[in-house]
Chains A and B, each alone.
Chain A
Amino acid sequence: MNKYYLGIDLGSTTSKAVIIDENDQIIGRGITNTRANYKVAADIAREEAIYDARFTLLSNIIKTDMEAKPEFKKYMEDIRTVFQYQQFKRRMEILEEKLVKTSEAFPYPNKNEIIDRLKSILNVIRPQIRHEFVHGGLGSKNQFFRDIVSERYNLEVAKAGKEFYEPLMLAFDKSITPVENEMVQYNFKELILESMKVLEEKYKGLADEQEDGSKEDWYYAELNAVRNNYKNVELSLREHFELVAEQEIHIANMVGTGYGRALLPFPEECIKSEILCHAFGAHAVFPNTRTVLDIGGQDTKAIQVDSHGLVTSFHMNDRCAAGCGRYLGYIADEFGISLNELGPEAMSATKETTICSTCTVFAGAEVKELIHNGEERPNILAGLHKAIVQRAMSLIARSGGVKNEFTFTGGVARNQAVLKYVKQMVTESYGEVTMNIHTDSIFMGALGGAMFARRNVTAALPA
């Protein structure tokens, strides 16, 4: 039987899980928002990683088919996002129930009107979200339940009229956290079968021409191929799906790391510091790395590692969250845009507006003022991104500077504007060095954890 190893990185903002095989290859990734309960966050991330691992195993089985036939590749892609939608749907049903219950307990005199309004909002966003998952691949763009719901919910609430604004927002705030902290059990096989039905419906529904005469979005080679062949694909995949659904993913050992690690009921041998894990993970992917910068939700760490991936020195922000991921979260909130729009917009700046405040909250207030003084939004954003990198650079300097290859990890490494300034400033200060950024940068801590787990097989598994 194959043995697998699990690493869980319980960050302050997101919790990540990675499953590796005996060759240190990642076969499953899971990510979720960290809210109120680390235990649930760890469970959700692990479950996600296991589902993901099943898909990976399946892809490995049908590798030759996938390489030869575009319809197989497309079908697998589609079923994954529909699978994500099925998971989303279960949680959404719980949330809807909770929202109504919360509103029913309100002391507002127009309570019934509020509930009516709430229900009509849910009726608007439910099909919207379904459509975006099934046709727009929403699951691969955004993996967080809260973000997906709140973005659309807020939009509808804003249309609902002033007297409903506060109560509807409050209903959401009161309901979302308990729902996020509920572990929802899914049956992989059941969800897959349901997803297959949804897909069948999708492919059948792809009309040759839309009502207005334009071509529909199936007009891409891959989708077109699967549209005509989905019955065949379905038939040949069904058996495999059932097989991987039954397959046991035997986790031989695990390691937990990150902010919330100490709060979990893990045995001591299964807990490692996130500094060690980040460095180890980054070093495994890029063996020549000697300096690792990790910008996460609430910490920025500059770490120096030796040729074995072990930490020789590090520096991190301790008393203040200035310059971390949450900084960007706050700013996105001030602007009312989503977090992943920040980077691209900052890239279109013509200059960098100076931001004086170091504090995340104060910077948010300063941004408001700048907007009202007529500053261009991209320029403000560019200034903010630069400020983050300046703070990271001072941590790097204190930890010993940049040596040999430099690896940038953590959630913020996904932001291209931050990346641009990191490249610029590292080159200015330390000359031309090789810079590594990996698509899995956010999972480096969890990967390091999983690798430690593989090397420490004697530790007992937590019950």
Chain B
Amino acid sequence: MSNTIYTMGVDVGGSYVKGVLLAYDDATQKHTIVDKQTEKIRKRNPKDVVVELVDTLLERNNLNYDKDIKYLASTGEGEMVEKKTGHFYSMTTHAKGGIFFAPNAKTVVDMGGLYVRAVKVDSKGKVIDYKMTGQCASGSGQFIENISRYLGLAIEEVGEISLKADNPEVPSGICAVLAETDVINLVSKGLSTPNIVKGINLSIAQRVVKLLGALNAETPIALVGGMGMNVGMIQAVEELSQENKKASFEFIPHPDAIYSGAVGAAIWGGYRYYKLKDKQTAVVA
């Protein structure tokens, strides 16, 4: 008998909360995204944002939390999710989510608000090895957000505008904060907005390609995380990877890439639900 269960995944990041409602069909063993929602935190209390997001997903789908949701899995800053059944480490959720979006990927690159991490995965989305940026926010999504605000761009416009570049200049600053001054200088020199944005995308892409080299990453590579949805960024990593003589990578982007952590969490949640259930059944039996 086929049996569908619902799980939820909530990924609390530095600037966004991402949530998905997932359905798992027992018979086909397939997960499908039923609904999804992103909320910008801005100056709000992330805890309130999480509550709002979970309620929205439930209401929109006429579901009752206690009755219908078998597992609410958190990832990222998980302690913000008060109703959670359990928490999963970001590395594992993004790996799982990456494989969900690109089943034949050998590596998952998560490009988020604060970090970029490259994770080697097996066919089931288990982590084999990883490398991540640390200590410094250059090459993070926050960096792009600051620059776009400075240039007066909506975050949704940033990707498209980069595609219009004809002669990008890569800023020399290594630090995200110093690079902002570089951008002031570029504007001052009369560089066009598309060329500035593309230059920044290229500078971040350089770090990504370096990270992949250090990891000895295998291709194809699933691109996930907030920046993984940015078409300008996708173009930049693809271009740089083609120029790279040592190893050329094939990238698989996905329009829902920002949800990778939430999706991964929801899948792991479902998995743990069955594990727990079997254990309980076993104990009872």
Contact = CB atoms under 8 A, between A and B. Distances in A.
Given A39-B188, A321-B178, A372 B140 contact: no
A362 B114 contact: yes
B156 to A, nearest CB: 10
A263 B192 CA distance: 17
A298 B177 contact: yes
A385 to B, nearest CB: 17
B135 A359 contact: yes
Contacts of B114: 361-362, 365
B46 A372 contact: yes
A460 interface: no
Main secondary structure of the interface of A (DSSP, over half): helix
A262 B14 CA distance: 37
User: What class of interface size applies to chain A in its complex with B?
Assistant: 35 or more
Nearest to B42: A165
Contacts of A406: none
A267 B137 CA distance: 37
B17 to A, nearest CB: 13
A228 to B, nearest CB: 47
A62 interface: no
B143 interface: yes
B232 to A, nearest CB: 18
Contacts of B184: 12, 34-36, 38, 260
Contacts of A324: 177
B250 interface: no
Nearest to A181: B187
B214 interface: no
A141 interface: no
Contact of B188 (A260, A327, A357, A362): A260
Interface string B108-126: 0000001000000000000
A319 B174 contact: yes
A369 B43 CA distance: 13
Contact of A37 (B149, B151, B188): B188
Given A173-B152, A336-B43, A359-B136, A298 B143 contact: no
B174 A175 contact: no
B165 interface: no
B80 to A, nearest CB: 7
A361 B152 contact: no
A442 to B, nearest CB: 18
Interface string A152-172: 000000100000011000100
A427 interface: no
Interface of B: 14, 40, 42-43, 45-47, 77, 79-80, 114, 135-137, 140, 142-143, 149-154, 174-178, 180-181, 184-185, 187-189
